[in-house]
Copies of this chain bind each other. A is one copy, B any other.
Amino acid sequence: MIAQTPQPPYYAVIFTSVRTEGDHGYNEMANQMVALGSTMKGFLGIESAREEIGISVSYWDSLESIKAWKQEAAHQVAQEKGRSQWYAAYKTRISLVERDYGFEQ
């Protein structure tokens, strides 16, 4: 689903990753983190897809909301498992959406 975000400006966290082999509890935790993240103050939506690489873009109202999510306790556990088990590599980019436009048939 394309996220239904408000009028800009708002923030986008672009998380691009390469997985290690095997699941190691990844899919269950990923679903839990989407569910938990969605309850955070300032969360505006999320879009995800994975092929050779995975891209998850989450949308937020402010840098403060992004920081609170990064520091959330269960999310910190997931981030640590990400580095120790699930990801061969990742990159996180914090960006300010200045303009958007869309199309629907």
Residues of A within 8 A of B (CB): 1-3, 5, 8, 12, 14, 16-18, 20, 47-55, 57, 82-83, 87-105
Q: How far is the CA of A43 from the CA of B16 in the complex (A)?
A: 18
Picked from B90, B94, B100, B102, the residue with its CB within 8 Å of the CB of A94 is B100
- Min Cβ gap A53→B in Å is 6
Residues of B within 8 A of A1 (CB): 52-53
Asked, given contacts A55-B49, A57-B16, A97-B94, whether A2 binds B89 with beta carbons under 8 Å apart, the answer is: yes
Closest to A57 in B: B14
Check if B103 sits within 8 Å of A16, measured CB to CB.
Answer: no
Picked from B3, B16, B47, B99, the residue with its CB within 8 Å of the CB of A47 is B16
- Min Cβ gap A70→B in Å is 11
Q: How far is the CA of A99 from the CA of B67 in the complex (A)?
A: 13
Check if B49 sits within 8 Å of A50, measured CB to CB.
Answer: yes
